[in-house]
Amino acid sequence: MPQITMRDALNQALHQEMAHDERVIVLGEDVSGGAGGTSGTREASGGIFGVTKGLLPRFGEGRVLDTPISESAIVGAAAGAALAGLRPVAEIMFADFVGVCMDQIYNQIAKFRYMFGGKSTCPVVIRMAMGAGMNMGPQHSQAIYSLLTAVPGLKVVIPSNAYDAKGLLIQAIRDDDPVIFFEHKALYPRKGEVPEHDYTVPFGEANLVREGEHVTVVALARMVPFAERAIDALAKEGITCDLIDPRTTSPLDEDTIIESVEGTGRLVIVDESPPRCGMASDIAAIVAQQAFHSLKRPIIQVTPPHTPVPFAPALERLYVPGPPRIEAAIRQAMKDE
Amino acid sequence: MTFSVNLGRERLLRAYRQMKLIREFEERLHVEIATGEIPGFTHLYAGQEAIAVGVCEQLSESDYIVSTHRGHGHCIAKGCDVGGMMKEIYGRKDGLCHGKGGSMHIADMTKGMLGANAIVGGGPPIAVGAAIACKLRGNRFVSVAFGGDGSANQGTVFEAMNMAVVLRVPAIFVLENNGYSEHTGAAYAVGSGDLAGRARGFGMPAERVDGADFHAVYDAMGRAMARAKNGEGPSTIEATITRYYGHFEGDPQNYRAKDEVAKLRVTMDCLKRFRARAEADRSVPLADLDSIDLEAAAIIDAAVRGAKAAAPPVESDLYSDVYIQY
């Protein structure tokens, strides 16, 4: 099977779904780029991270829409196009820019179906690059998936590898509900085996990345490869872990997490979103409610501190949870009173 | 208000020094970024200097500005310390924001610089708020919102413009139309192509000026200031210009004709324009401009050396300044 990057896997998914279903359109800032430029090159960008490359030359300007810098209008237009029967894939260049278009996401898109009494479908996908690790500072580095997971009516997807990214994006496009699709910037170059044909990865089904007996580790996005490194290092000492990648936070595969904790009795949750009202505390609450008596040790949350994402590399390195912190947390979970 | 014909030699030399300092700052960053030593995402202002300086030379330290992701020029023009700015861009503890903001978030409240902003269209509503404060205090100070042609497509900018008109506050919107919203041309992305016309639609005076002409920008700003100080409310200045570099450093600029920048560096250069005018009207001696050139290069060189030698922040800095008290 070919090894490709997560960037290329996402690009493949978009190409295949646009070819497969003519209702699929793509819109966003610089998704092609070059419009109104002086070079005569129409596709000058292909997306700032290259995810939408080749779509405009292949599918044309009717279906690949370069927009002005207008996030509210991008998301609102995607919503309207979806209500009118298209299947738009909107791109918000950086997840932080959700701040500009929050109304369209959480008052409009998320609520249509419910408040219209089930009479509407809004099959929109909103892709956005997220995450720290590239020194882009407080307004270009946030992991805001907890914020949007909290909104009823939205499905929230956070792939950690190329295979899942492709299958989840195709699922997101085919899904009739609105989907927020987070892509971690630092994972775009991460390679993995990806079949050339189209396939879907279902929502609400976690991936058991590692199987072990001592500790359950739950991790998302970039925290998954970091957790793999920590877990593989500890395996040499005989400490083995289940590593669960939920892949979607809404719906969340609670069963896989509960079953694992019932076996291990120890839980470490690794989450790049802020610690307050975050994914880690949400999962901790679910486990505390459903598997309290299985727990042998307190649940450990590995998260950034309750601060914005700092710019300076010296500080950002401390902000992002890395393999050493995950390893220490697993060791702490193994300590008996 | 002062207009450019009344500017004496010292003020003209000061304006040239500010423009040259910005140019040196940005040209040097372009070189230093290529070495890989500067972290993150940097957007250079080179080419647009006459706008920042033409506007800010009309301001005092008590007037406010709100800037953009392409903010280095505005910071320097408003009096931010270039050494502190350079340290910030290098992510140093002694940077203007202690290394926590970086290139896109430089601010200095003591200079009336309310912050660069990494959200396109994030600044103008903030500038309106500062203008409300000026009006309430009756202090005849003004608040300037810098933005680009890209920001002129954000609803936040329209909301800010309308509110400034409705509240009749001393806000001045400066739209630097450099022809590109990131990788997309303004010719495509700005319906009507007329940013000043949009502002006029909200009920305020708006004019379009040549952004490479310091004198033209300075005079347009003088007219806007006069209105603001007389309680006549907001104005907009659309300054047409180009940027000498990409949207960010590392941008391959495939959307621009290969020779575009080289040509524009000849025809659209505020420093050359300023020199040519000085030569024609003998307003300042060219030898003085030559010595400013050398002086600016030395200042920036010292700033870079200072930033390279400066220490990074330490772990406790990660947790400080989230709140005042918690």
Structure confidence by residue, pLDDT tens digits, B233-250: 999 999 999 999 999 999
**Length of chain B counted residue by residue:** 326
Res. A329 pLDDT band, cuts 50 70 90: very high
| CA nearest to B155, candidates B124, B196, B189, B191 | B124
Domains held by chain B: number? 1
pLDDT of A126 reads 98
Q: In the predicted model, what is the mean pLDDT of residues B224-232?
A: 97
Residues in chain B closer than 8 A to A186 (CB atoms): none
* pLDDT of residue B9 exceeding 60: yes
Q: Do A138 and B101 touch (CB under 8 A)?
A: yes
CB atoms B40 and A137 under 8 Å: yes
Chain B residue numbers touching A68 (CB-CB < 8 A): 150, 153, 181, 184, 189-190
Residue B8 — left, alpha, or beta (φ > 0 → left; ψ -120 to 50 → alpha)?
beta
Q: How far apart are CA A53 and CA A176, in angstroms?
A: 25
Mean pLDDT across B95-119: 96
Verify whether residue A140 is a known catalytic residue: yes
Residues in chain A with CB shorter than 8 Å from the CB of B183 are 30, 33-34, 37, 44-45, 48
Tokens 């738009």, located at residue: A88
Residue B95 lies in a domain: yes
Residue B319 domain flag: no
Q: Is residue B43 part of a domain?
A: yes
The secondary structure element, H or E, covering residue A249 is strand A248-250
Asked if A180 and A156 touch (Cβ cutoff 8 Å), the reply is yes
Nearest to B254 among A41, A306, A310 (CB): A41
Nearest residue in chain A measured CA to CA from B193 = A36
pLDDT digits (tens, 9 = 90+) for B256-305: 999 999 999 999 999 999 999 999 999 999 999 999 999 999 999 999 99
Contact between A29 and B182 under an 8 Å Cβ cutoff? The reply is: yes
pLDDT band at B2 (very low <50, low <70, confident <90, very high): confident
Preceding omega of A159 cis (within 30 degrees of 0): no
CA distance A47 to chain B (A): 9
The chain-wide mean pLDDT, for chain A, equals 97
Residue B210: in which H helix or E strand, if any? strand B206-210
CA distance B187 to chain A (A): 5
Which residue in A72, A137, A318 is closest to B104 by CB distance? A137
Structure tokens at B288: 């003085």
Per-residue confidence (pLDDT) for residue B106, from 0 to 100: 96
**pLDDT tens, residue by residue, A84-112:** 999 999 999 999 999 999 999 999 999 99
**Nearest-CA distance from B321 to chain A in Å?**
9
> How confident is the model at residue B306, as a pLDDT?
98
Is residue B326 in some structural domain? no
CATH for B128: 3.40.50.970
Label the pairing between strands A241-245 and A207-210.
Answer: antiparallel
Inter-chain residue contact A136 with B40, CB threshold 8 Å: yes
B36 inside domain: yes
pLDDT in tens, A114-127: 999 999 999 999 99
In the prediction, which pLDDT does B152 show? 96
pLDDT of A335 = 92
Q: What's the whole-number mean pLDDT along residues B187-196?
A: 96
Give residue B145's domain range: 4-312
Structural domains of chain A sorted by starting position, each given as residue range(s) with its CATH number in brackets: 3-193 (3.40.50.970), 207-334 (3.40.50.920)
pLDDT above 80: residue B205: yes
Check whether B1 has a pLDDT greater than 90.
no
What pLDDT is attached to residue A217?
Answer: 98
With 60 as the cut, is the pLDDT of residue A337 above it? no
- Confidence band (pLDDT; 50, 70, 90) for B209? very high
Contact: B118, A139; criterion CB under 8 Å: yes
Q: What is the mean pLDDT of chain B?
A: 96
ipTM: 0.88
Question: What SS3 state is found at A278?
Answer: coil
The predicted model scores a pTM of 0.93
Mean pLDDT of A219-224: 98
